[in-house]
Structure formats: C-alpha cells, structure tokens
Structure 1
Amino acid sequence: MGKVVLVEGSRELDVWPELQNLTGDVMSRAVFGSSYEEARQIFQLQNDQTILLSHVIQSVYIPGLRFLPTKRNNRMKEIDKEVQALLRWIVNKREKDMKAGEASNDDLLALLIESNRKDIQEYGNKKNVGLSIEEVIEECRIFYFAGKETTSVLLAWTMVVLSMHSNWQMQAREEVLQVFGNNNPEFDVLSHLKNCNHDFV
C-alpha cells in the first residue's frame, strides 16, 4: 500500500491486489509455516494459472481443445507440474525436519504429517492407513487456495460494508485504538472488541 497518495475528498482505490497478497501471506504461514518463501512461489504460479484459466473461460469453446498442445495448454501443464514439484519438496523437507526434531508443529502441513505418522505407527504400514504424499499435497493445496480466495473476498466485502456505513467504520476504529493503542493486535485481546465483533457477525 506504499503507492497510496493522500488526497482531499474521496477517491477510488483498487485494493484487491493488496488483499490477495495479505491473504496469500496469511494462508502461506497457516498451511506451510516456516516454508513461507517456497509457498510465495506457489502463490505466484497459481496467480499465473488463474490468468491463463480466465483466458480459457473467455474464449470460444471447442470440444477437445484442452488436449491440444497449444502454447496456453502447455504453460498450464508446466505450471501444474511446477506447483506439484514445489509442494512435494516442501512436504518431503518438512517430513525430514520433523523426524530430526528441527521443525515446529504449528501449521496444517505439520499437523497432517504428524497425524499420518501416528496412524502408520498405530496400524502398521498397511496400504489404506494414513495419507499418501499425494494426498497430503492435495490437502495443503486445496486448503491454501480455497482459504486464500474466500478470505480475500471476505475482506473485500467487509471493506464494502464499512464504506457504506461510515459510522460503523468510525466506531470500529475508535474501539481498536482504545483497546490496542499503538501496540500490535494480539489474538487473546480480540474478544474485547465488542463493536467490531457485533458489527461483523
């Protein structure tokens, strides 16, 4: 948001890219934790994939076209392979780090790996016990992309509602400043925000 210029009066501002970045950061940390930088690469590749997919949707439908080796189809396959490879690398690295006791267990990937490890220990290395690496990758992928999109849309809608009700915006701002002052917000204190919780629930 460093590009924002202060002006008198009101002005339209496109915040969607900033919301996408914010939610991408949050979901990267929630899903992958310490493998955050690698997750940012996945985030960028997925943005590229979304752009290509929007072009496909806007073009004339020709049955079987998606199977032809066009430049767009080839790039979409490349992106999918790159995302799969990055996710596989992150999962394998985290699994190795957890076995060595070097990784924390405070994100979705760690929880999946730990749960999987316990299932295999409890029931043996049977075929239908636990998740395969591919299933762990797919779970992380779905959680990350679905969470990023829904959270971005929720934030955008919250901003729309606040812009329509400036009195709510003022009350929320005053309450946040009163509760937190100049300190960074802390999760435990969020329950003290009565107006914010009431306005948005």
Structure 2
Amino acid sequence: MPEGTVLTIPIATIHHDKEIWGEDANEFKPTRFENGVTRSGKHPNALLSFSSGPRSCIGQNFAMIEAKAVIPVILQRFSFSLSPKYVHAPMDVITLRPKFGLPMILKSLEM
C-alpha cells in the first residue's frame, strides 16, 4: 500500500454478506446469535459491531451487560410501534442507521 492510503472496512456490507450469514442475511434474526457471536456466522469474527482483536472496543463487555439488563426492563413496561412519520432511508455511516431518525410511539404497559 502506498504511504497515506486510507483503508476502510465496509462493516455494513460484511454484516449483510449472504456468504457469511446465509440467504436470510438481510433479515432481523436474533436467533442466529443464540450460540454466541463467534458461532453466528461462517467466520468467528464476522460480526464487527465492536471491532475485533487487541484494539476492540474497551466498552464491549459493559455495553452487552447493560443491554441485557436494561432492554428487558424497558420491554416489560412499554410497547413500541413505528410512527407514521418514519421514512425508510437507510444510511451507511460506519454502521447502518436511519437517515431521518427512528420516530417511535411508546405506550406504557403499566396500568
């Protein structure tokens, strides 16, 4: 590589690669991770949400524990639905995200 060359890893592309994730790569399928992240795809380092190796995200373990603790509590107390104002426009900026945000309608499940 010439000096000054910028290399990027197309994370969103890798996360939707049918050779790694199967024909349903574009589907939301949390069950593909039921045996752990390293066994979810055809390569143990296919999921790069927190990077990989010695320079991976220092907060990865905390983020996963926090998600496992907080998300169930939120789901027990609220129902979620997409707002009619939502415009589907995926945007690739390091990771895939909604270009115009993700407006949601929350309803309390507590009486």
Please report the TM-score for the alignment, with normalisation by the length of structure 2.
0.32
If each structure's strand is expressed as a fraction of its own residues, which one has the higher value? 2
If each structure's helix is expressed as a fraction of its own residues, which one has the higher value? 1
Which structure has the larger Rg over C-alpha atoms?
1
Which structure exhibits the higher relative contact order, with contacts defined as CA atoms closer than 8 Å and separated by 6 or more residues? 1
Please report the TM-score for the alignment, with normalisation by the length of structure 1.
0.21
